[in-house]
Amino acid sequence: MTRTLKPLTGFRIVSTAINIPGPLALARLCSLGATAVKVEPPGGDLLASACPSWYEELHLGVEVVSLDLKDKNNIRKLELFLDEADLLLTSSRLASLERLGLGWPFLSSRFPKLLQVAIIGHHPPDDHIPVHDLTIQAELGLLDPPQLPKTLVADLAGAERAVSTALSLILSWKVEASGSPAADHDRIAYVSLAEAASTFAIPPKYGLTGSDNPLGGLLPGYYIYRAKEGWVVVAALEEHFRKRFAHEFTLGQITHTNLANLFIQRPAQEWEKWALENDFPIVGVKDVGNIRSKKDD
Query: Is 4 inside a domain boundary?
Result: no
Show the domain range for 242: 214-296
Task: Report the pLDDT value the prediction gives residue 294, as an integer from 0 to 100.
Answer: 47
Instruction: Name residue 234's beta-bridge partners.
Output: 223, 282
Task: Report the pLDDT value the prediction gives residue 4, as an integer from 0 to 100.
Answer: 75
Task: Report the pLDDT value the prediction gives residue 191, as an integer from 0 to 100.
Answer: 98
The H or E element spanning position 124 is none
Residue 7, SS3?
coil
CATH of the domain at 76: 3.40.50.10540
Query: Is 1 inside a domain boundary?
Result: no
Query: Is 3 inside a domain boundary?
Result: no
User: Across the chain, which distance is largest between two alpha carbons, in Å?
Assistant: 77
Task: Report the pLDDT value the prediction gives residue 189, as an integer from 0 to 100.
Answer: 96
- Separation CA 136–CA 287 (nearest Å): 25
**Mind listing the pLDDT tens digit for each residue in 273-291?**
999 999 999 999 998 765 5
CB within 8 A of 242, min separation 6: which ones?
Answer: 221, 236, 254
Domain count, the chain: 2
Residues 89, 125 within the same domain: yes
User: b/e for 257-275, b at 16 or more Cβ within 10 A?
Assistant: eebeebbeebebeebbeeb
Which residue, among 3, 69, 6, 13, has the nearest Cα to 36 in the 3D structure? 13
